[in-house]
């Protein structure tokens, strides 16, 4: 038995690589005009996550226990290692300090909500980037719940996803005039920020060849990507940009396959795939160095190089081998369980026939 890993598609790894490169440029370029690339890169990540999770849950209909095991093996060990390391570093690094409430909320992916009086970007620890992981993990749980409802009640998954997207839009409209009384900006909360993930999940449920017959179909993902970048660069955090930009990225990532071949080859380049493979570890470990650069305590170029180095070490020495080990152990355990069930059923049949 396998855990139904999505089929490796080189240009999707390249898309993920583009996302982390955008984040790194936005953080370490020190050019104010490029700062928007940080949140834009996160939006690119969200769109890809929505596509891949939808494929697992609604197209392949993966077992939900396997789904959560796969997500946990991918995220939790490296995330907890990062968080524990940062917390322990406060004993030797006087610029940071541990707040028990913040640390607990960070460990359980609730930092954008608790404690409500402390902005996540004013945290006593360099964990501001964790807001995006909060959104992703919350949304994965909700998507799995939607998949469960669709399987039990035998109704199209798109209905539940469309309802989720509508509720998210309603929260956006409400928060514009009635922002919640919390220190962290409302547009980072899951009920609003998950729109890009949900939109990509909806579009993945549509046949992927749906737009091939349209005129200039190969240019449509490029136009959507450019429109999203325009929204982030010129109208960041405006209500229109908060729903239009994620929708454009959701469209772009689902229809990358209609791009001209030369563009598909470009985003499938091995160096982009390398960034994509290491992206989670790089994203986690770059934040302390980004904070140090912002505080004027570290050279941006040096900080970027160290971030890449530690991220690569984290991926090759910890994240990837541990993830494969945990998935292999779980698959082996599942095989034994299924084998045991088959033997039990066989004995019952034999007993009945005798």
Q: Where are the domains of the chain?
A: 10-353
The phi and psi torsions of 84 (rounded to 5 degrees) equal -65, -40
Instruction: Return the exposure string of 240-270: e unless at least 16 CB atoms fall within 10 Å of the residue's CB, then b.
Output: ebbbbbbbbbbbbbbbbebbeeeebeebbee
Q: How many alpha carbons lie under 13 Å from residue 35 in its C-beta half-sphere?
A: 9
In order along its 354 residues, the chain shows pLDDT tens digits of 444 555 679 999 999 999 999 999 999 998 888 999 999 999 999 999 999 999 999 999 999 999 999 999 999 999 999 999 999 988 887 777 888 899 999 999 999 999 999 999 988 889 999 999 999 999 999 999 999 999 999 888 889 999 999 999 999 999 999 999 999 999 999 999 999 999 999 999 987 776 777 777 889 999 999 999 999 888 766 777 789 999 999 999 999 999 999 999 999 999 999 999 999 999 999 999 999 999 899 999 999 999 999 999 999 999 999 999 999 999 887 666 555 555 544 443 454 444
pTM, full prediction: 0.92
Cα–Cα dist 115/103, whole Å? 10
Q: What is the DSSP letter of 82?
A: H
Among candidate residues 81, 75, 198, the one with its CA nearest the CA of residue 139: 198
Answer yes or no: are the C-beta atoms of 57 and 63 closer than 8 Å: no
Q: Using CA atoms, how far apart are residues 48 and 15, in angstroms rounded to an integer? A: 8
């Amino acid at each position: 038995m396998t855990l139904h890993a999505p089929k490796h598609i080189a240009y999707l790894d390249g898309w993920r690589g583009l996302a982390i490169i955008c984040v790194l440029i936005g953080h370490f370029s020190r050019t104010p005009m490029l700062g928007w690339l940080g949140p834009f890169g996160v939006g690119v990540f969200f769109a890809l996550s929505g596509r891949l999770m939808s494929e697992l849950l609604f197209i392949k209909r993966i077992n939900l226990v396997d789904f959560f095991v796969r997500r946990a093996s991918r995220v939790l060990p490296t995330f907890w290692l990062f968080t524990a390391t940062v917390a322990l570093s406060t004993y030797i690094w006087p610029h940071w300090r541990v707040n028990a409430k913040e640390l607990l909320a960070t460990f359980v992916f609730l930092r954008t909500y608790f404690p409500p009086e402390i902005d996540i970007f004013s945290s006593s620890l360099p964990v501001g980037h964790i807001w995006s992981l909060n959104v992703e993990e919350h949304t994965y749980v909700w998507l799995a719940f939607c998949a469960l409802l669709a399987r039990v009640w035998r109704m199209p998954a798109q209905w539940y996803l469309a309802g989720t997207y509508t509720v998210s839009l309603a929260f956006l409209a409400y928060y514009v005039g009635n922002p919640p009384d919390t220190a962290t900006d409302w547009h980072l909360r899951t009920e609003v920020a998950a729109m890009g993930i949900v939109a990509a999940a909806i579009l993945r449920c549509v046949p992927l060849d749906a737009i091939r017959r349209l005129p200039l179909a190969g240019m449509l993902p490029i136009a959507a990507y450019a429109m999203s970048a325009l929204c982030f660069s010129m109208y960041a955090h405006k209500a229109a940009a908060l729903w239009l930009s994620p929708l454009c990225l959701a469209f772009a990532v689902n229809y990358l396959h209609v791009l001209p071949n030369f563009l598909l080859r470009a985003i499938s380049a091995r160096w982009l795939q390398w960034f994509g493979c290491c992206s989670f570890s790089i994203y986690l470990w770059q934040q302390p160095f980004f904070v140090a650069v912002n505080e004027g305590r570290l050279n941006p170029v040096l900080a970027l190089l160290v971030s890449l180095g530690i991220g690569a070490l984290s991926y090759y020495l910890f994240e990837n081998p541990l993830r494969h080990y945990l998935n292999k152990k779980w698959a082996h355990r599942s095989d034994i369980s299924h084998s045991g069930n088959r033997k039990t059923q066989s004995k019952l049949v034999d007993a009945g026939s005798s």
